[in-house]
Structure 1
Amino acid sequence: MTSASTAAEAPAPVGQVAGGNALAGTRTLIRFALRRDRIRLPVWILALLLGTLMTANSFTTLYSDPQDRANAVRSMDSPAGLALSGPRHYLDDHGFGSMLSHQMLGFTTVLVGLMSVLIVTRHTRAEEETGRAELVRSTVVGRHAHLAAALSVAVLADLALALLLALGLTGLGMEGVDTAGSLLYGFGHAAAGLVFAAVAAVTVQLTAHTRGASGTALAVVGVAYALRAAGDSGENGALSWLSPIGWVQRSYPYVDNRWWPLLLCLAFAGACAAAGFVLSSRRDVGAGLRPEKLGRPTASDALTTPLGFALRLHRGMLTGFGAGLFLMGAMYGSILGDAEDMLKDIDRIQEALDRTGGAGVAESFASMVMVVLTVVAAVYVVMAALRPRSEETAGRAEPLLATGLSRSRWVGGHLAVAMGGGTVVLLLAGLGFGIAGAASTGDAGLLPDLVGAALAYAPALWVTAGVAVVLFGWFPRASQAAWLVPVYAFVVGYLGQILRFPGWMNNLSPFGHVPRLPAADMEWTPLLLLSLVAAGLVRLGLAGFRRRDLETK
């Protein structure tokens, strides 16, 4: 046999397909991703859909009279009100439809952006970080298949949400909520989701770590929201045109129904997605374009302890949530001085404020806002408390626990960072709220009051961490159910005050037992009981983890 014939008969290298198709296997990966997210995606979509429909339906009660809508226009027509909602043009014809777009579109597009970013990072960078992508790529799968599949799943989720929003809002039969506006409203969410999914397609190429890629992409979401708020609150709205969220809001659903701003979103998303594919060709599987920093020759003394090692793993997320909540608190604090003028003519809001303790409008409004800040802090606590589950499923827990490190000390380190870090995040939220609130009202006494009001929720956060560790210890496959605690707290603790939910529903949440400072008087007994419940849940969860088998790789 000649050498020429031997070369001709040699098998093709593994992973090569005819024509060198870089997208080979994409369809299979899409089906696999949808199979993995069969619960996660429907929960996201239904939560966004039901939240929007409930809010839209509440407008018919909150603003049933034209005078109520006129009062709402006056309350929103201020720099602080526009920064929280959207462009002033919505106020020119403030029907139910324009009211929905003005008050909800900027907020819900941030949540859609969060969903889209997590979809892309979960099915790209997370797969590489765990080593699964390398195994899959050793078969007949193209280089760009993972990224193409992740973007396709994000597109499908965004389009499904858009269609359901359009159908659901049209089906409400509300005055001013027509089919054309509902279609634009729904596809505005899809356009924003596509932009931030494409941004994530770039960030996953930059770093070798899932949390870094997600954090960078979510920082872009935060900058987009900040630019939109700054542009809408100022005399010159040019800054809003630098933000994809600003583009979506300036499509003006139910007012002008302009589709062309969504083309800006599609163009930007296409450019970012193309950049992501180009950048992915310039790095190795599992690596990032940004070079890793060289570590110290030897580990510090802190890294040799479970608590120090857990703090090292959590420090990026803790820093991000701390900075974000400080700014979020400062943003709400900046409108505290205008709260009375903004809310005095809205009867349903006034009734909700009266139920918080009957104090002044500023104090009552602050107690309602504190629920929102605390729920965001609870999101950090759940993420941190479930980190041991991520370490276990990724196969990193088993080598650690094969040493002299006990299970309780390992999980205890993560719990200490979750519970202590949650308290620190609350403190920063209270500081931002208090500093800006004291400046806007001219009342320096609000600073310690609002810091104390924030810290009062710490025991409720500890109970949230306790629920997460119980699920992790006894029912690890159901660990994600811990997310129900902050979601339920927001729906019942914040929206429930406005929509008049029964009192017993609030009692089912640990946050419902915290005194609503600064509007209400301080009560130490419920805080002590919550702390004891948290301690009991932690002991129960650790007992379960000691008794079950590890998930091994």
Structure 2
Amino acid sequence: MSTLTHAPEHPPHDTRSAPRTRSGSRPLTGTLALARLSVRVDRIRALVWVLGAGAMGFYFAHAIQIIAEDDTALASLAGLYADPVGRMMVGPGFGMDDPTHERFFAAGYAVFIYILIALMSIFTVVRHTRADEQAGRAELVRANVVGRHATLTATLLVTAGLVVTASALVLVGALTAGYAWEGSLLVATTAAAVGLFFTGATATMAQLGESSRSATALSGGLLGLAYVIRMAGDAPEVGGTALSWASPLGWAQQTAPYVDDRWWPLLPLAGGAVVLAGLGYWLSTRRDVGAGLLPARLGRAEGRPSLGTPLGLALRSLLGTLRGWTIALVLTSLMFGSYAQTMLDSADALPPELAGVFVGEDIMLGYLAYIALFMAVFVTAAGVGSLQQVRGEETSGRAEYGLSAPLSRTAWLGAHLTVTIAGVLLILVAVGAAMGAGAALSLEEGGASRFGELLAAGVLKAPAVLSIVGIVTALLGWLPRLAVPVGWLLVAFSAIIGTFGSLLELPDVVFDLDPFGHLADYPVEAIAWEPVIWLTAIGAAGIAIGLLGWRRREVGRI
């Protein structure tokens, strides 16, 4: 008996010309299937993002025509952005020496559309890359016939599609307002370029950290840094300074729609998007699934005894999020407070429309009261972000592990709420202290007396913050899928009303829906205790209702 051995009649196909992964599949195998899956899973969330960006563009484009019906009113409003403080808030103020409705739209509102689309890109990329790896879904997908780069490619394609669709809706909103075609197309294209830039940036950031939280923090920090650099660059003079060109948002606003209609500043945005996306691909080949390139800090050899308690475990889970918000908001408050002397010096030269944004006859105190409100809205965002992480603990299944111990549901959620509430209160104190310190150091006279006032101004916003935390907690207990979206919607609503409320002709009922609008603008106005009491009561009631719902519903409910 013998075994015949001979060469095969047909030699195997030469695969050297087609690069393959170790599993034998091509790098992009399964890309379209994963893209369809991402669209299917994200259909509701994506629709909300796209329609929200489109609605914002449509509203801003038409609102200015209602606010300023004639040239006289428009010219007076243009003074908002001819002033350094106004340029610091919204941009370099191109065309405000000869304002039109379309120029006002581009100079005053377009940057917020860019930021919203950038946030959509950040959250979408993180959710379909790092968040899937963290939850273990990526490994299940890669166990199939899927190329190494298929997931990232599908994510980039889906995100780019959302960005382009949202930008197209912004174009429709501008055109329906009767604005020039070229300038409107430039605004929409710039919005798309900003979105794609942060899509590529997030593709890189997703390779660095070990969690979706770190990827979001890195990408969001980049966006925040871009805005701060733009503020510092645009404030000194109309058209911005050299520092404006150090920011992606600065590049976007240097296009000067409806004025110069410059397209070439989009080149660094487009080039940056391509380079950063390519870097993301390259970095993804240098790490394992679920791992990050940045070295993780080594933990203790033995866990602290506090980790054996609900409160200690909650503090360990939420501390990173709250600490990141604290650092960012304290630095921002310190910077805003340092403008106190500038406001005092330019009080007489401020246009009446800008002065009208600030409460009271003392422009400097009105400015600081406005900043206290502005920062309190961001503190609320920190609270909503913390509750979003609590929801993530549930959807990822980690909450069930915790509840498998001899631990009641009320104790688990109550511990996380305790850390969240204590965290936002401490951030309010830190923000007020930083703003007071900045004002005290910048003011030539009476600076020390302002420290205590501004510290109190920050703390007195706590009832409004707690009311929103209570509403989100109530939804977390009974309607968990709505909790996080509604929380962010309330934050955005408060930010828009607090920033543009005095310029928008809205019904009183809309202003009544803003929790911050019921509180006195201390230190300009005397403290009104009635809204403090009932806003605190709303927060307490929401927390109680949320705890009750949490005890009754199924844990892990999606």
Work out whether the TM-score is over 0.5: yes
Q: Which runs of 4+ in 1 moved over 6 A?
A: 1-6, 15-19
Residue in 2 that maps onto 1:474: 478
The aligned amino acid for 1:325 is L
Note if contact 1:471-1:482 (Cα within 8 Å) is conserved in structure 2.
Answer: no
Larger mean CA deviation between 467-476 and 326-335 belongs to 326-335
> Which of 150, 155, 160 is the aligned partner of 1:145?
150
Q: Deviations over 1:22-75 (max 9, x none)?
A: 111111211221222222222223333333333333333544454555555555
**Distance in structure 1 (CA, Å) of the matches to 2:93 and 2:492:** 30
> Which of 41, 44, 49 is the aligned partner of 2:46?
41
> Which of 175, 185, 188 is the aligned partner of 1:186?
188
Q: Deviations over 1:205-262 (max 9, x none)?
A: 1111111111111222122223323333357822222222121111111111111221
Would the alpha carbon gap of residues 86 and 530 (structure 1) be closer, same or farther in structure 2, given more than 3 Å must change? Answer: closer
Are residues 1:298 and 2:305 paired?
no
Where 2:327 maps in the other structure, the secondary structure is helix
Note if contact 1:124-1:150 (Cα within 8 Å) is conserved in structure 2.
Answer: yes
> Which of 271, 276, 293 is the aligned partner of 1:272?
276
Deviation for aligned residue 1:364: 3.4
Residue in 1 that maps onto 2:403: 401
Residue in 2 that maps onto 1:426: 428
Give 1:302-451 correspondences, 5 Å limit: 302-336=306-340, 337-338=342-343, 340-341=347-348, 343-346=350-353, 353=358, 358-438=360-440, 439=442, 442-444=445-447, 445-451=449-455
Where 1:206 maps in the other structure, the secondary structure is coil
Give 1:4-403 correspondences, 5 Å limit: 20-72=25-77, 76-87=81-92, 89-173=94-178, 177-234=179-236, 237-336=241-340, 337-338=342-343, 340-341=347-348, 343-346=350-353, 353=358, 358-403=360-405
Deviation for aligned residue 1:199: 0.8
Note if contact 1:154-1:197 (Cα within 8 Å) is conserved in structure 2.
Answer: yes
**Distance in structure 1 (CA, Å) of the matches to 2:97 and 2:289:** 53
**Distance in structure 1 (CA, Å) of the matches to 2:161 and 2:349:** 39
**Distance in structure 2 (CA, Å) of the matches to 1:398 and 1:142:** 33
Larger mean CA deviation between 447-456 and 67-76 belongs to 67-76
Residue in 2 that maps onto 1:498: 503
Deviation for aligned residue 1:443: 4.2
Would the alpha carbon gap of residues 372 and 544 (structure 1) be closer, same or farther in structure 2, given more than 3 Å must change? Answer: same
Deviation for aligned residue 1:485: 2.5
TM-score (norm 1): 0.89
**Distance in structure 1 (CA, Å) of the matches to 2:217 and 2:426:** 19
Would the alpha carbon gap of residues 220 and 351 (structure 1) be closer, same or farther in structure 2, given more than 3 Å must change? Answer: closer
**Distance in structure 2 (CA, Å) of the matches to 1:365 and 1:77:** 17
Note if contact 2:21-2:148 (Cα within 8 Å) is conserved in structure 1.
Answer: no
Larger mean CA deviation between 82-91 and 468-477 belongs to 82-91
Deviation for aligned residue 1:542: 1.1
> Which of 539, 546, 550 is the aligned partner of 1:545?
550
Note if contact 2:515-2:535 (Cα within 8 Å) is conserved in structure 1.
Answer: yes
The aligned amino acid for 1:202 is T
TM-score (norm 2): 0.88
Residue in 2 that maps onto 1:488: 493
Deviation for aligned residue 1:400: 1.1
Aligned pairs, how many?
A: 541
**Distance in structure 1 (CA, Å) of the matches to 2:151 and 2:540:** 43
Deviation for aligned residue 1:183: 0.6
% identity of equivalent residues: 35
Residue in 1 that maps onto 2:530: 525
Would the alpha carbon gap of residues 4 and 404 (structure 1) be closer, same or farther in structure 2, given more than 3 Å must change? Answer: farther
Deviation for aligned residue 1:16: 7.1
Note if contact 2:93-2:108 (Cα within 8 Å) is conserved in structure 1.
Answer: no
Larger mean CA deviation between 479-488 and 180-189 belongs to 479-488
Note if contact 1:22-1:143 (Cα within 8 Å) is conserved in structure 2.
Answer: yes
Note if contact 1:68-1:345 (Cα within 8 Å) is conserved in structure 2.
Answer: no
**Distance in structure 1 (CA, Å) of the matches to 2:85 and 2:514:** 31
Deviation for aligned residue 1:134: 0.2
**Distance in structure 1 (CA, Å) of the matches to 2:416 and 2:299:** 22
**Distance in structure 1 (CA, Å) of the matches to 2:518 and 2:244:** 40
**Distance in structure 1 (CA, Å) of the matches to 2:351 and 2:174:** 29
Note if contact 1:434-1:451 (Cα within 8 Å) is conserved in structure 2.
Answer: yes
